[in-house]
Amino acid sequence: MTTLEAPGTPPPPPAAATRPLARKRSRPSEQLFKWLVMGLTAITIAMLIWLISSVVIKGAGSLSWAFLADKPSSNPDKAGFNSALRGSVVLMIITIFFAWPIGVAAALYLEKFATQSAEASERKVRERLGSGVSGVHAGWLRVRLSWLRVRPRVVHLVDVNISNLAAVPSIIYGLLGLAIFVGILGISKSLLAGGLTLAVLILPIIIIAAREALRAVPISIEQGAMALGATRWQAVRSQVFPAALPGILTGTILAMSRAIGETAPLIVVGGIVFGTAVPSLNPLDAGNEALFAMPLQIYFWTDQPQASFQAIAAAGIIVLLATLLVMNLVAIILRNRYSKRW
Amino acid sequence: MTPVGDPSGRRKRLGGSVGERAMLLALAAAAIISILVTVGIVVVLVGEGATFFTEVPLKEFFTGTEWFPVEGKYGVLPLLNASIVIALIAAVVAVPLGLGSAIYLSEYAPERLRRVVKPVLEVLAGMPTIVLGFFALDAVTPALQTVIPGLGLYNALAAGIVVGLLITPLISSLSEDSMRAVPNAMREGAFGLGATRRVVSLKVVVPAALSGIVASIVLALSRAIGETMAVTLAAGTVPNLSWNPLEGMQTITAYIVQVSKGEASRGSLQYESIFAVGLLLFVVTLAINIIAVRIVRKYRTVYQ
């Protein structure tokens, strides 16, 4: 590496060792390689800039309050994004309502209870079995004993399973939702079916994020509470969980930003609606409301041949990206504001 | 867990051993639900797929070269081929971009620049795929048409390029993580022997981080094969058994979308066909993911 140092860009630490050697002769291949990797990074960023600017240039002209307030229409000059916005709001409410409690509960169990104190409980159960209990009680104790024995294996299975689920293509979740929610449970192709499908889709993401947040809370917090006489549940509920909550919420928002941009599973579950309905914002009505969502509306418009539909599709994308930006900013602020260094 | 004598009545009630155990049971049940999801996926895909395969023999499905559901021709090769072609184009785009960025960020970039560039790259990974599809159709294909005259509106090349963009941050991020995990002592040793930064990057850091790099590429491929909206919009909906990236072709995922968009009635052969190809997609991506995990486990070198 040559010693050319641009102002404000100090070389990383190992550079110091090379300096005397590099001075002896100039090495074009060195410079070339540096420019190559820098160029590749620059190309990637340039593509991102190209993407965003092409969408903004195309869609900015169609963006207006009327666009956000109008319902869909077959006339591109009148068509609005309102139904899509409402649909996405309801979808997010349903998704979070189902995915959050289950995801956080699973994370709490896996991180705080599943791997701990099996030995002590096993010994206790065995002692009680040995002390001459009989009948139903003994049977129950035996069930508990065998559960304690297989538990590590079950937990391992759940672990592997969750990381695999996170890598399953989203369209597969659409097929699951179509067969279970629409097919077996008989929910119509509605916002409810879509929201439930998205809930299943982000469940593994929430579990993984919540586990990481719980893991970041030092064990001494929990031990301190237990040393003062709290049971493990009390310690987790009143000390560990509140401490991990900002991290869990950050992960939840990021999972939701994944869900709000999903298109494929919604198409599989609900098809594409051509209507001009305006869905109610009340999530309790979601079972009867046609499936509207921002990405679905964008897809529908993009798929139309007329150029004017392309422009409003771009406007829809701007709204979607702005929503994502806000969600990510909230997540970052939450993390910076409430994250504690232990 | 025996109840502990607590001074506050509220705690005592909640800490009661029965309530606590019920709580634990509820938590455990939540954890089991994640297994039920997997079981559900497998049962649904295999169940509906099995009905499909009673009418379309496996041999015809895997060796047939025509996918034309209206005429009852269900040879999956054109769909599978399209998924693979687009994933390969994506890899051709994403491997140099991703590895180049990873090497730059890990070995060359100053820390402050790295802290800005890395999240910017990850924006691409979080981009909704419908946006990438729009970008392919609206910007990439027109740009390609100025270079390649006669290129159709729907082509595998544009689809592959945007999918490549989508998976680039996956490769760069995971590869960079494993490059940074290579201890500095190894770099310093090589520098001490007179190696240049390029030599250190290519002959020391990259080989040491190889398991992570390869795994990131494999995972990215799995993501590319499962990608849906960008390929549906950009590569079109006409099944086409061809290796020519300039032609339009329909991937497995695009077929599922096409059928779902129309009203294929429940129980029809077309309805069942999306579960059959979905099963194939699930098996392929799962196999690729398992390979990635194996690679990491087998070839990982742990440095102190």
Cα gap B266→B275, rounded to integer Å = 12
Q: How far apart are CA B224 and CA B252, in angstroms?
A: 12
Task: Report CA B174 to chain centroid distance, whole Å.
Answer: 13
Q: What are phi and psi of B168, to 5 degrees?
A: -55, -50
Question: Which candidate from B37, B103, B130 shows the least CB-CB separation from A263?
Answer: B130
Same domain, A26 and A107: no
Number of domains within chain B = 2
- Do A58 and A103 lie in a common domain? no
Contacts of B28 (CB under 8 A, 6+ apart): A109, A113, A114
Please tell me the distance from the alpha carbon of residue A46 to that of residue A211, in angstroms, as a whole number.
Answer: 36
CB-CB: which of A30, A106, A161 is closest to B198?
A: A30
Please give the pLDDT value at position A41. 95
**Chain A residues with CB-CB distance to B98 below 8 A:** 44
Residue B34 has its nearest CB partner, among A11, A34, A204, at A204
pLDDT tens digit string along A29-49? 888 999 999 999 999 999 999
Look at chain B and count its residues.
Answer: 304
Q: Tell whether B161 and B209 lie within a shared domain.
A: yes
- What are the angstrom distances between the C-alpha of B300 and each of A49, B175, B209, B210, B296? 36, 13, 8, 8, 5
The two tokens of residue B23 are 């709580």
Helix, strand, coil percentages for chain A (3-state, nearest 5): 75, 0, 25
Residue A93 backbone class (left: φ over 0; alpha: ψ -120 to 50; beta: rest): alpha
- Record: contact A54-B139, CB cut-off 8 A: yes
pLDDT-based confidence at residue B19 (cuts at 50, 70, 90): confident
Contacting residues for A72 by C-beta, under 8 A, at least 6 apart: A79, A80, A83, A84, A275, A276, A297
Query: pLDDT by residue for chain A (342 residues), tens digit each?
Result: 444 444 555 555 555 555 555 555 557 888 899 999 999 999 999 999 999 999 999 999 888 888 888 888 888 888 888 889 999 999 999 999 999 999 999 999 998 888 765 677 778 788 877 777 777 888 888 888 888 888 888 888 888 888 888 889 999 999 999 999 988 888 888 899 999 999 999 999 999 999 999 999 998 999 999 999 888 888 999 999 999 999 999 999 999 999 999 999 999 998 887 677 788 888 888 888 888 999 999 999 998 888 889 999 999 999 999 999 999 999 888 888 877 766
Q: Model confidence over B110-169: pLDDT tens digits?
A: 999 998 998 888 888 889 999 999 999 999 999 999 999 888 889 999 999 999 999 999
B40 and B170, same structural domain? no
Residue B1 lies in a domain: no
B270 vs B72: CA distance, rounded Å: 9
d(CA B145, CA A16): 49
> Burial code of B31-44, b = ≥16 C-beta within 10 A, e = fewer?
bebbeebbebbeeb
Query: For B239-276, what is each residue's pLDDT tens digit?
Result: 888 888 888 899 999 999 999 887 667 778 888 999 99
Contact A81, A67 (CB under 8 A): yes
* Partners of A290 in beta bridges: A190
B210 and B236 together in one domain: yes
Answer yes or no: are the C-beta atoms of A193 and A270 closer than 8 Å.
yes
* B22 lies within 8 A of chain A by CB: no
Task: Kindly state whether residue B273 falls inside one of the protein's structural domains.
Answer: yes
Distance CA A190, CA A247 (A): 32
Q: Is B268 on the interface with A (CB under 8 A)?
A: no
Neighbours of B215 (CB within 10 A): 23
- Token pair 């309050």 in the structure block, residue: A65
A87 and A292 Cβ atoms separated by less than 8 Å: yes
Best residue of A30, A35, A171 to probe chain B, by most B CBs closer than 10 Å: A171
**Do B32 and B164 belong together in one domain?**
no
Q: Note whether B240 and B272 are same-domain residues.
A: yes
Q: Confirm or reject contact between B108 and chain A (CB < 8 A).
A: yes
CA B119 to chain A, closest CA, distance in angstroms equals 11
Strands, DSSP E only, in chain B? 67-68, 73-74
Share of chain B above pLDDT 70, in %: 93
Distance in angstroms (rounded) separating the CA atoms of residues B148 and B138:
16
A128 belongs to a structural domain = no
Judged by CB atoms closer than 8 Å, whether chains meet at A161 and B132 is answered as no
In a domain, B20, yes or no: yes
What CATH number is given to the structural domain containing B195?
1.10.3720.10
Domain span at residue B222 reads 67-299
Q: With respect to residue B277, please indicate whether it lies within any of the assigned structural domains.
A: yes
Question: Would you say residue B71 lies in a domain?
Answer: yes
Shared domain for A33 and A169, answered yes or no, is: no
Range of the domain at A179: 82-115+165-338
Place of tokens 């409980």: A121
Confidence of residue B21 (pLDDT cuts 50, 70, 90): confident
C-alpha–C-alpha distance, residues A80 and A67, integer Å: 4
Q: Is residue A70 domain-resident?
A: no
Q: How many domains does chain A have?
A: 2
Please tell me if residue B173 touches chain A, with a CB cutoff of 8 Å.
no
Q: Which of B30, B134, B192 sits opposite A298 (nearest CB)?
A: B134
Report the CATH number that the domain containing residue A223 is assigned in CATH: 1.10.3720.10
Q: Which residues of A touch B42 (CB under 8 A)?
A: none
